[in-house]
């Protein structure tokens, strides 16, 4: 990956300039992470398409879970608010066909 390679090269150049300063440990750690990511990328590219899909699913699932632990509760609260507004006559009903058309259009 070109970006990673450029980052590694810059790390090496910076480490030489700093020559054992206290920043040296930070750059060494970043270089180690970079090489680990390069190795992971190499391994991921060698996977079969079905294995890549499974890996992507696992990673996305983990990102989704960590992004907002309260997401489920918030969706339930929003649904309840919308339902209450509908029952109170504050929110009009939309036929299913129309709702799906709008949803598909918003994804384009």
Q: Which residue pairs from 27-36 have beta carbons closer than 8 angstroms and sit at least 24 positions apart in sequence?
A: 34/4, 34/7, 34/8, 35/8
Q: What pLDDT shows up at residue 47? A: 87
Query: What are the sequence ranges of the domains in the chain?
Result: 1-51, 69-108
Instruction: Please list the ranges in the chain whose pLDDT falls under 70.
Output: 1-34, 65-69
Cα→Cα distances 17→11, 12, 14, 21, 29, Å: 10, 9, 5, 9, 16
Q: Which two tokens stand for residue 35?
A: 């090489």
pLDDT at 67: 61
Give the pTM.
0.35
């Amino acid at each position: 990956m070109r970006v990673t390679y450029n980052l590694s090269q810059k790390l090496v150049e910076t480490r030489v300039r700093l020559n054992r300063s206290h920043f040296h440990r930070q750059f060494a750690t970043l270089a180690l992470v970079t090489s680990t990511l390069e190795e992971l990328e190499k391994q991921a590219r060698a996977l079969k398409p079905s294995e890549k899909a499974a890996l992507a699913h696992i990673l996305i699932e983990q990102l989704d879970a960590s992004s907002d632990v309260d997401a489920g509760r918030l969706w339930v609260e929003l649904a309840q608010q919308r339902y209450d507004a509908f029952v109170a006559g504050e929110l009009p009903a939309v036929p299913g066909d129309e709702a799906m058309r709008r949803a598909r259009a918003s994804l384009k």
